[in-house]
């Protein structure tokens, strides 16, 4: 993740640091976690509150679009020979083992899936799984937001705590 953050930081050089953090937070895989790492490196610890709002906004922006349109987009892509295997692989990954918690507990499962910052989890994957499992918007959007607050709290404790920061090298 850190190498991706560095790549974005280098290639978006010239943009204000806040925009770099916002863009990183929007990007799948990196999301809020990568945005907070970039914010810590670019903005320092003095701007933690500002960084939290920028990262949260960047990460939440694509979520309604994923929840509303991904199944329609996937259905169209599956009609093509070129994209069908890729889409089917994404669907099987999203609805496979990782989705069991969401399938079983829906609201709480989605909160935990998005909120515990582990590889392969986060708002993008949580939104994809929620959409593919047919979780209603009135459940999925609040669950994803609560999960992002949880992930933000965990990441800020890890990144902005002086002792943990030294341990993590930030």
Strand extents, DSSP E, the chain: none
- DSSP-derived letter for residue 86 is H
Q: Which tens digits make up the pLDDT trace of 13-71?
A: 889 999 999 999 999 888 999 999 899 888 887 788 999 999 999 999 999 999 999 99
pLDDT category of residue 1 using cuts at 50, 70 and 90: low
In percent, the amount of the chain with pLDDT more than 90 equals: 55
Residue with tokens 């909120």: 115
| Tokens read off for 44 | 């320092």
Average pLDDT over residues 122-133: 92
Q: Is residue 33 within 8 Å of 122, Cβ to Cβ? A: yes
| Tokens read off for 120 | 């392969």
- Does residue 155 have a pLDDT over 60? yes
Radius of gyration of the chain (CA): 17
How far is the C-alpha of 92 from the C-alpha of 60, rounded, in Å?
A: 24
How far is the C-alpha of 113 from the C-alpha of 147, rounded, in Å?
A: 7
pLDDT category of residue 75 using cuts at 50, 70 and 90: very high
Q: Is residue 102 within 8 Å of 109, Cβ to Cβ? A: yes
pLDDT category of residue 90 using cuts at 50, 70 and 90: confident
- Does residue 76 have a pLDDT over 60? yes
How far is the C-alpha of 155 from the C-alpha of 38, rounded, in Å?
A: 12
pLDDT given at position 9: 81
**pLDDT mean across residues, the chain:** 88
Centroid of chain to Cα 15: 22
In percent, the amount of the chain with pLDDT more than 70 equals: 94
């Amino acid at each position: 993740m850190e190498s991706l953050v560095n790549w974005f930081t280098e290639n978006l050089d010239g943009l204000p640091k806040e925009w770099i953090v916002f863009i990183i937070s929007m990007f799948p895989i990196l999301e809020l976690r990568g945005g907070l790492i970039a914010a810590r490196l670019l903005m320092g610890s003095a701007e933690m509150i500002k960084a939290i709002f920028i990262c949260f906004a960047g990460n939440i922006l694509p979520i309604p679009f994923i929840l509303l349109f991904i199944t329609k987009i996937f259905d169209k892509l599956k009609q093509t020979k070129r994209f069908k295997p890729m889409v089917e692989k994404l669907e099987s990954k999203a609805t496979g083992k990782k989705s069991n918690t969401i399938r079983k507990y829906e609201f709480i499962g989605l909160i935990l899936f998005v909120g515990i910052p582990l590889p392969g989890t986060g708002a993008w994957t949580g939104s994809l799984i929620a959409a593919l499992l047919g979780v209603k918007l009135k459940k999925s959007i609040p669950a994803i937001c609560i999960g992002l607050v949880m992930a933000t709290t965990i990441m800020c404790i890890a990144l902005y705590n002086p002792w943990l920061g030294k341990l993590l090298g930030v």
